[in-house]
Structure 1
Amino acid sequence: MELRVDSVPGPVTAPAALFGTWRVGTPRRQRETAEAVARAWRSRPWPGPGLRSYAVLAGDDGSTLLHASQVEDLDDVPAQDLSWKREVDAAVPGIERTGVASGRSRRGTPAYGPAAEAGCVVLVTREFDGPDTARAEGLVEALFEGSAGTPPADGLLSAHFYVSPDGSRVFNYALWTSAEAHRRAVEHPPAPLAADERWQRAHSWPGLRSTGFQRFRPLLGLAPPAG
């Protein structure tokens, strides 16, 4: 199959996304697993038009892999020939699959630069104390309102917010030029942004139990054949 294969993420355009994580143990096994995924997918037909893209990214912990899929509809995810996972397991034994989360797109920033320039992808996960879609969507709106008067951070290419189907989690899948650019933005937020009452309120949103993030380095990007 003539897949489009790259080492950088493509633009984020789909209405929904799936985020799966694997633990593989070492940076070398991260690379080997991504190579095995590419080989397995090349030998199979693309699952269908409902899958826009599939990316594999290496966590900065040296062990985790993030599998990010852009899909048209969470209720109609294209069926796959899952035997490809057995091929990957044969090539890299001992992979621990730690779960898949999903979300529907709520809002996204403009593209401040091309996705192909992304050297780092950051996945921010905000968890609530229970399901409530309206509350989760309200948090996304508050984050956008709080940052409306502040220019984008240096190195931010785009940020895309998703709400889980039950409203218990909010995900921010953000493309950055580098991990260092994201680190600087976290350590030195603009004073007007930090002082904005709406921004402060968003970070103490009712029911918000935790906020965490992890940085990833793009390893593999797959897309269906053009045309």
Structure 2
Amino acid sequence: MSRRTEQHPDLTDPRIGAPFFSTWRVGSPERQQRTVEAIARTWERRAWPARDLLAYHVYAGQDGSTLMHYSQWTGEHAYESFVKAHRQERVDEIDTAVPGIERVGLGRYRRYRSRERAVGDARVPELIVTVRVEFEVAERREEWVDLVVKALDDDPEGNTGLVSAHFHLSTDGGHVLNYAEWESADDYERALAAPASEMWERVRTYPGVKGSVGGRYRHALGLVPG
């Protein structure tokens, strides 16, 4: 069966071959909560759909209108099999409970590298921040990520509230998605307000970056095989 978990996902699990992120627009905080509850009911009343699905997590956007979905698959073939056999019945039940959900799209990725939490760090992040950075040339993405990780490592005091950061490369070659765990929203605001170092200026002015967009979320639902 499917069961809920309060634990945040481990994005560094070596079994993950196909991490997927997607967004739903639901319109209001009340509908956010109703949709999360509908997802939970729909999944908990059914068997876990595939052993190649390691976990499925849902996040409520601070904008009061969006939900972000993160699923961990061993490979894309496993997801395609799920779509053929199990996805539609779940979608139909959720849409019956909360009509009018707008599904914005599915992003397929591979994790490139992470700034992992320190050994023994048991903090539970209150804030999840995602930043999607668009690139003109796919080959420049890895160098940019390496630069970001170096900037983080060179300024540990300026990022004391950062629990971890995980950088994913889109399989279409267009962008990087950073999933960062912060201890609190205040910690994130302090990091944003801090003076930019020379290294961070290099990150922000890196050639080939077309633009970026971010989102702030709280972990709303975790589902794992049970």
Give the whole-Å Cα distance in 2 for the aligned partners of 1:224 and 1:102. 22
- Equivalent in 121, 125, 142 of residue 118 of structure 1: 125
Q: Unaligned 5+ residue runs, structure 1? A: none
AA of the residue aligned to 1:158: S
Aligned partners of 2:29, 2:220: CA distance in 1, in Å? 11
Deviation at 1:108, TM superposition (A): 0.6
- 1:13-162 residue pairs with structure 2 within 5 A? 13=13, 14-74=16-76, 76-77=78-79, 79-80=81-82, 81-82=86-87, 83-112=89-118, 113-114=121-122, 117-129=124-136, 131-132=137-138, 134-151=139-156, 153-162=159-168
Q: Distance in 1 between matches of 2:189 and 2:168?
A: 22
Normalising by the residue count of structure 1, what TM-score does the alignment of the two structures yield? 0.87
Cross-structure match for 2:3: 4
Deviations for 1:152-185, whole angstroms, at most 9, x for unmatched residues? 6132211100001132100111112222222221
Match of 1:209 in 2: 210
- Between the aligned partners of 1:8 and 1:26, the Cα distance in structure 2 is 25
Does structure 1 conserve the Cα–Cα contact (< 8 Å) formed by 2:53 and 2:78? no
Return the offset for 1:17. 1.5
1:114 to 1:52, Cα distance in 2 relative to 1, 3 A: farther
Which piece of structure 1 moves more, 174-183 or 135-144?
Answer: 174-183
What is the distance in 1 between the residues matched to 2:141 and 2:9? Answer: 26
- The alignment-based identity, stated in percent, is 38
Contact 1:179–1:215 under 8 Å retained in 2: no
What is the one-letter code of the residue matched to 2:109? G
Structure 2 residue ranges without an equivalent (≥5): none
User: More deviation in 27-36 or 204-213?
Assistant: 204-213
- The one-letter amino acid paired with 2:147 is A
Q: Assess, with a 3 A threshold, how the Cα gap between structure 1 residues 77 and 158 changes in structure 2: closer, same or farther.
A: same
Q: 1:20 to 1:128 in 2, by over 3 A?
A: same
Shift of 1:147: 2.7
SS of residue matched to 2:191: helix
1:219 aligns with 2:220: yes
SS in 2 for 1:148: helix
SS of the equivalent of 2:64 reads coil
- CA-based RMSD: 1.9
Residue 138 of structure 1, CA deviation = 1.4
- CA deviation digits over 1:162-219, x for unaligned, max 9? 001132100111112222222221122xx5xx2234x322222222111221100111
2:182 to 166, 176, 187: 176
Q: Give the aligned length.
A: 216
Match of 2:131, SS state, is strand
Shift of 1:148: 2.5
1:164 equivalent to 2:163? Answer no
